[in-house]
Structure 1
Amino acid sequence: MSVHGLPLCGRAALSAAWAAVVALAATGCTEERALSPRPPAERTVVSLVPSATEILFALGAGDRVVGRSIYCRYPPRALMLPAYGSYTDVRVEELLAVHPDLVIFNTSKADSYGRLTAAGIRCIAPPTDTVQQVYETIEVLGAEVGAADRASALADGLRERLEAVRRRTASLPRVRTLMVFPSVLGEGNQVSVIGRGTFVSELLDAAGGENVVEAEGYPRVHFEKVSQWPIEAILISAPGDIAPGLTDEQYREPWMRWPTIPAVASGRVVVLREAYLTIPGPRMADAAELLERTLHGEAAAGTSTSWGSSGKMPLPLMGRMPMPRYGPQTSVCPAAAGDAGGGAL
């Protein structure tokens, strides 16, 4: 069986793969090695984690990032850097030839982590499962590259923006929301979802949503079970570079087979193409604001009605929000640039 030319088994693989990417990107380890002898302000870094790459550029340390993973695609300048593999499949010999002072992983359990450490390369894997851990990782990376003040300012700016989102939605009805990865119906009639205990679920809560998934992490759930949940909104996280050939309508169409789901019956199935939605880094506040606008429209400003109060669907924010520009010596933190900018893997 296929949907618009893409076999369901293929969609299942796509779903599972993207869920794994996000789970790996958001999972870290605090294990560290002895500090590099080079001063922090002079250290060169290979970042294999998209969120860490974005943080480093946001701190104005992009000129010292000398390598990335294939998943590090933002800011655009990062694409000019050599890619040394994925999260766990790293070309160690090529990376060693660069002689970086620091390599950032998403997990210390990767074989390449151990090989690089044994070769005398400092490796770290700071966690970003929760919003608080993202703040802490920003501070850690700031200390690593001699930008502690900028890191504190960036973290504080993100806190302020997230609190502003929470204040705007505090008096609004909660919208029971299901967030899914770029999947529809998968093999075994399952769907990959965003559960609790994740930074995305925290952003959803701040934005006035209520995660209908009780499980933690990024589980796969039988669709029959999902169809019984009182879901008011379905948000499909489908970055354009994951399956560029699929249209929003193609992502929504299979859900239309389940009109008993309240969100489907009322047409509240929204495809979100913004990659930063699932990247725990400097654009995290942008993600919260995107969710706020998607769920409540202008209701947070007191000028319209949200889904949770009348069932009226606000116009979904389908386009990209303005993103900060990470130039050679620029930062998105208020202390360095005078503007918190954006607030990403």
Structure 2
Amino acid sequence: MMSSKRSLRSMAFGVFMPVALVTSTFAQAADGGNVKAQRIVSVGGTITEILYALGAQDRIVARDSTSSFPVDALAKPDVGYMRALSAEGILSQKPDLILTEDGAGPADVLNILKDSEVPVVTIDTPPSGAAIAKKIQDVGAAVGLEDKAKNLAEEVDTGLAALAKDVSAVGEKKKRVLFVLSTAGGRIMAGGQDTEAAAIIEMAGGVNAASAITGYKPLTDEAVIAAAPDVVLTMARGNHQASPDEVFALPAFQSTPAAANKALISMDGLYLIGFGPRTPAAAHELASKLYPDVVKP
């Protein structure tokens, strides 16, 4: 069961301390950013995505399994799932910088990496559109690309401002959206308050139908019915995308407004809830699917 916002991010795509608190080796090696780091192990799909956007892809020697964008990243050696890392696998890449998202682990592996004296920087990843710019700037600062990071952060903020303007046209007739993480065994795992799912739904002009819970938690059939979602939102998983017939055949959904209209939206997980450079585009796409007559693709 997933009970925290960070566990979902790492599952979807996306360490051990905030970016301001790096290992002493890093602080001594490079004031203002490790410009000399040429062998970066990137742990976290959004971190990898940002590094590519900053033009630092040639400095990445390995990435974790949640790093699925851009597709070129898949050609890099894979050090495993970000919450089940192996110190040996990472150190075998002979990194001179390990850059991770908050939530990587396990803790004993991170301790080994710290003791190895390889610089380790962890980027805080709160589920908020307003926090994306800082995330980008923190990554830029860690690799000595502050100017490029500043420009990219400003582009993202501009995109978010444009999104807010477009979504404002929706007015008060907002749709209730239920984010469903899984339906394993007919049990609905949904995204409540303080989650990436809640944040992206709000950014797209929707109302989170699971606001009665916090984090990612299972809902009873009665709770799903009471949530009365107009739309169900899911993550597309690889080549598999749940069909409306599959989802709305579940008893919990059969009497909901979403089932009546077979209103199901599936989007790539990292794109949808990664909260990186593509978030303005992802939120705009979601808004256009929710309100096709108001927000144009």
Q: Aligned in 2, Cα 1:20/1:195: closer, same or farther, shift over 3 Å? A: same
Task: Write out per-residue CA displacement over residues 311-331 of structure 1, whole angstroms, 9 at most, x where no aligned residue.
Answer: xxxxxx8xxxxxxxxxxxxxx
TM-score (norm 2): 0.84
2:71 is matched with which residue? 76
Matched, 1:42 2:36: yes
Matched, 1:220 2:218: yes
Does the 8 Å contact 1:69/1:87 carry over to 2?
yes
Does the 8 Å contact 1:50/1:279 carry over to 2?
yes
1:160 is matched with which residue? 158
The count of residues paired between Structure 1 and Structure 2 equals: 282
Matched, 1:211 2:208: yes
Task: Write out per-residue CA displacement over residues 59-116 of structure 1, whole angstroms, 9 at most, x where no aligned residue.
Answer: 1111101111122121122111111121132232232233212212333652211101
Does the 8 Å contact 2:46/2:276 carry over to 1?
yes
Secondary structure at 1:87 match in 2: coil
Secondary structure at 1:276 match in 2: helix
2:228 is matched with which residue? 230
Matched, 1:127 2:114: no
Q: Aligned in 2, Cα 1:273/1:94: closer, same or farther, shift over 3 Å? A: closer
1:107 corresponds to which of 85, 88, 103: 103
Alpha-carbon distance in structure 2 between the residues aligned to 1:190 and 1:144? 41
Does the 8 Å contact 2:97/2:119 carry over to 1?
yes
1:323 is matched with which residue? none
1:41 positional shift: 2.5
Bigger drift between 206-215 and 94-103 goes to 94-103
1:300 positional shift: 2.9
Alpha-carbon distance in structure 2 between the residues aligned to 1:193 and 1:62? 35
Where structure 1 has 5 or more consecutive residues not aligned to the other structure, the ranges are 1-12, 302-316, 318-345
Q: Which amino acid aligns with 2:174?
A: R
Alpha-carbon distance in structure 2 between the residues aligned to 1:220 and 1:90? 27
1:199 corresponds to which of 171, 196, 200: 196
TM-score (norm 1): 0.73
Alpha-carbon distance in structure 2 between the residues aligned to 1:26 and 1:97? 23
Q: For the aligned residues, what is the CA RMSD?
A: 2.8
1:22 is matched with which residue? 9
Does the 8 Å contact 1:108/1:124 carry over to 2?
no
1:287 is matched with which residue? 282
2:176 is matched with which residue? 176
Task: Write out per-residue CA displacement over residues 116-160 of structure 1, whole angstroms, 9 at most, x where no aligned residue.
Answer: 101111222212122233322211110111211111111111111
Alpha-carbon distance in structure 2 between the residues aligned to 1:276 and 1:145? 23
Alpha-carbon distance in structure 1 between the residues aligned to 2:61 and 2:53? 15
Where structure 2 has 5 or more consecutive residues not aligned to the other structure, the ranges are none
2:89 corresponds to which of 80, 85, 94: 94
Bigger drift between 140-149 and 29-38 goes to 29-38
